[in-house]
Homo-oligomer: A and B are copies of this chain.
Amino acid sequence: MNDHSPAETRREPLDAAELHLIDRYWKAANYLSVGQIYLLDNPLLREPLKSEHVKPRLLGHWGTTPGLNFIYVHLNRAIRAHDLNAIYICGPGHGGPGMVANTYLEGTYSEIYPNISRDTAGLKKLFRQFSFPGGIPSHAAPETPGSIHEGGELGYALVHAYGAALDNPDLVVACVVGDGEAETGPLAASWHSNKFLNPVSDGVVLPILHLNGYKIANPTILGRMSDEELRSLFIGYGYEPFFVEGEEPAAMHQAMAATLETVAHRIRAIKTRARESAELHGRPRWPMIILRSPKGWTGPKEIDGKKVEGFWRSHQVPMSNVRGNEAHLRILEDWMKSYGPDDLFDEKGTLKPELAALAPEGSRRMGANPHANGGLLRRELKLPDFHTLAVEVKEPGGTIAEATRVMGVYLREVLRLNAEERNFRVVGPDETTSNRLDAVFDVTERVWMEGIEPYDVHLAHEGRVMEILSEHLCQGWLEGYLLTGRHGFFSCYEAFIHIIDSMFNQHAKWLKASRELGWRRPISSLNYLLTSHVWRQDHNGFSHQDPGFLDLVANKKADTVRIYLPPDANTLLWVTDHVLRTYNRINVIVAGKQPAPQWLSMEAAANHCEAGIGIWEWASTDHDGEEPDLVMACAGDVPTLETLAAVDILRQALPNLRIRVVNVVDLMTLQPKDVHPHGLPDREFDGIFTTNKPVVFAYHGYPALIHRLTYSRTNHANIHVHGFQEEGTTTTPFDMVVLNELDRFHLAMAAIDWVPGLAVKAAHLRQQLRDKLTQHKLYVCEHGEDMPEIQEWSWPYKTAANAGD
């Protein structure tokens, strides 16, 4: 706040010539924006506008667009004046026409889409394609050059901007936040991201809060707040706000140009000061801009006697029924002509050279900046040899380990190997340690730009672990980081990942649409570890118990999503290594953090995970070459433990029962091959699950997911799934599985019930199991912990099995 450079005193930095040029460029962008919404033909209005030139269905949003165009042209000027390396995040995604118009004007659009040429024919196509079948969507989208942000669902512009700026010390991320979006929860929290931005090693986020005052049919909260309250709010958030307010174009151009000059100097001063003595200064007070301009600025002031400019009626298409209403047609023509198209485009329909010269050049153009097509900049991660980190498992069940703790060591090595590249981050809502990933703190810290006390641990300005109690911000930061070509990992309590369901949906949609665009280069996958999962919420209880995120994930396109349920540490290691090598996917891993028996050596784990599903011969008893009587299948660590314990019971009591144990790591193997690329062919599926034998399937989450994945399989009618039945509280680990009938006793009883003839033969065993459940209940209510035989159980057949039992 103390760097009042001389430039700040120039309140009118534009001379008349530059002012005129900038205003014309803005008019060109506005003209193209209106044209996209309305016109099929006659793009430069070189003949009188007729109804057949107008689209039959008028779709799109005008209201926010002129403001977005205004910002774009001024950012262009700042880029040229200060040689900025900048990208533009368009929070008001409805302003798609503006983003398209500007990238067209600067030339990037035609470079990417050569059919949209810089002439009258190209203009016609540009207009026609917008919101038109076979054309482009109405929002800023993957199709839009220079965008890393689809504006459809609001709330994530600023957090994407911060994610993009991390570890890009020379990048300026200009982020327009609409006053509608500013009302959302995620956006309201995103302002605090400044507490995590290191002025030395990260780039700059320049938030531009665009107050045009209205949403669809309401004023906005921030738009109606006084400047005094707004100033106070943003100072409170840690920024230095600059106001640009008005509607008279010339004055507004001067004010915006002057403010961007001031802001550029502020930023330079902050960066310089930080580089000179990073340790002396904490978080700087970054500048931000509050732009108040009319909604639908420069559009029709009134239509049919009703206020349009400066009001919510300009939100979408200001006039409908243009084809059928001659008066509306004339308003449209006058409106578009008010921009003076002949003063903007030459005879061929090409932007006049003195205007074209205003845009930055090459990759300095915001539509061509490679950071907005992050795959161009992406470098492969260096990954450790995970075999060296494996847990030694000599015999199934013979080792106890915490799976995620082992994973933490792997992540530590990833951080170490890529420390120089600074292209890998771990995010989580204050749970990295709780989730047992704290080995990462051997090589890095949590990033923290606020004060650090002597007794604080693992906090540093330079940390690569990002923790905030907001799943929204974790997700958004990581998305922004990945979209700009880097890598990352998100660990989260399983239940609370639902908080970002909708962000997950939107990212999956972005990936799906990006895949279909050749020019968008692949980005790293978004990788989740869901832990502290439903079965082990000892400290928390019912509110923390929900395994339903996987159901949501399974709805998305098969080429985008993967779900892994590694049963132990070595399988988790393999899966972690695997997902970090993939791109354009969303990988979800579910694994527990509690001490648990380990089943597979690293070699066995690798073989098992490669297949994604497999028969565990060492636990099975169908070694005689005949079909089993029963398949006991499991997916997830706790279900695997309970299944093996149930098999143990059955093997002891019914030694002649032929049991096949199947474990599923990659849930997508259950789907048919034509539905998912990981799906098992029916013949293989039948080979594993048989065509007619009962399958008792212990699954980590809601049973319905297994049914829907397998519904078309031959043996589906015989698959009996045990999983989470929405029963939970604060209780012992084993009581949780009992409440949901996923425990060894219920699984063993299910086996007895479903194998033909066994109900009679094993009636006594069944009663014993029932009694065990009663014993359990009495014991836990008395002692508050599980029976010793439950706590101490481990797989007993390890040596016998190896000996060929």
Contacts and interface: CB of A to CB of B under 8 A. Distances in A.
A545 to B, nearest CB: 8
Given A154-B469, A433-B216, A307 B455 contact: yes
A764 interface: no
Given A57-B538, A137-B729, A731-B133, A469 B780 contact: no
Query: Counting chain B CB atoms within 10 Å of each CB, which of A219, A237, A541, A712 scores highest?
Result: A541
A220, A473, A512, A540 interface centre (most CB from chain B within 10 Å): A540
Contact of A543 (B93, B192, B448, B781): B93
A502 B186 CA distance: 14
Interface string A56-67: 110111000000
A759 interface: no
Interface in A703-756: 704-705, 707-708, 711-712, 716-717, 726, 729-732, 735
B552 A509 contact: no
Contacts of A509: 542-543, 726
Given A57-B784, A432-B217, A467-B218, A137 B730 contact: yes
B185 A184 contact: yes
Interface in A489-518: 495-496, 498-499, 501-502, 505-506, 509, 512-513
A104 B533 CA distance: 32
A366 B203 CA distance: 50
A420 to B, nearest CB: 27
Nearest to A233: B236
Given A152-B541, A188-B188, A470 B218 contact: no
Contacts of A726: 509, 512, 555-557
Contact of A434 (B55, B139, B216, B473): B216
Given A237-B233, A505-B498, A446 B218 contact: yes
Contact of A217 (B128, B430, B455, B555): B430
A40 B781 CA distance: 12
A539 B320 CA distance: 13
A56 B502 contact: no
A311 B784 contact: no
Contacts of A543: 93, 137, 139, 141, 150-153, 506, 509
A575 to B, nearest CB: 24
A139 B555 contact: no
A153 B432 CA distance: 18
A235 interface: yes
Interface string A149-176: 0111111000000000000000000000
Contacts of A541: 131, 137-139, 141, 152
A150 B152 CA distance: 31
Contacts of A538: 57, 59
A783 interface: yes
A777 B501 CA distance: 33
Nearest to A556: B726
A554 interface: yes
A43 to B, nearest CB: 15
B134 A448 contact: no
Contacts of A707: 707-708, 711
A133 B181 CA distance: 45
A413 interface: no
Contacts of A735: 133
Contacts of A433: 216-217
What's the interface size class on A, roughly? 35 or more
Given A153-B499, A236-B235, A540-B152, A219 B729 contact: no
A461 to B, nearest CB: 13
A128 B512 CA distance: 53
A610 B55 CA distance: 44
A232 B236 contact: yes
A335 interface: no
A451 interface: yes
Nearest to A781: B134
A585 to B, nearest CB: 15
B546 A505 contact: yes
A723 to B, nearest CB: 10
Instruction: Give the most central of A133, A181, A726: most B CB within 10 Å.
Output: A133
Nearest to A735: B133
Given A499-B153, A539-B61, A469 B236 contact: no
Given A513-B542, A781-B134, A224 B451 contact: yes
Given A183-B470, A541-B137, A229 B238 contact: yes
A221 interface: yes
A779 to B, nearest CB: 9
A548 B542 contact: no
A415 to B, nearest CB: 18
Nearest to A306: B455
A371 to B, nearest CB: 22
B540 A139 contact: yes
B189 A469 contact: no
A660 interface: no
Contacts of A780: 133-134
A181 B468 CA distance: 10
Nearest to A728: B509
Contact of A502 (B234, B451, B496): B496
A627 B729 CA distance: 49
A56 B784 contact: yes
A55 B784 CA distance: 7
Interface string A224-246: 11000111111111100000000
Interface in A684-712: 702, 704-705, 707-708, 711-712
20 contacts: A131-B730, A132-B784, A135-B730, A137-B541, A138-B730, A141-B542, A152-B541, A180-B430, A183-B469, A185-B189, A188-B191, A217-B432, A217-B467, A220-B469, A225-B238, A229-B238, A232-B235, A501-B552, A555-B704, A712-B717
Interface of A: 40, 55-57, 59-61, 93, 128, 131-139, 141, 150-155, 180-181, 183-192, 195, 215-221, 224-225, 229-238, 307, 311, 316, 430-434, 446, 448, 450-451, 453, 455-456, 459, 467-470, 472-473, 495-496, 498-499, 501-502, 505-506, 509, 512-513, 538-544, 546, 548, 551-552, 554-557, 702, 704-705, 707-708, 711-712, 716-717, 726, 729-732, 735, 777, 780-781, 783-785
Query: What 7 pairs between A and B have smallest CB-CB spacing?
Result: A152-B543, A233-B236, A185-B185, A232-B236, A188-B188, A498-B502, A133-B780
Given A40-B784, A217-B434, 10 more contacts: A133-B731, A135-B730, A137-B543, A138-B539, A153-B495, A181-B469, A184-B470, A233-B235, A555-B726, A556-B726
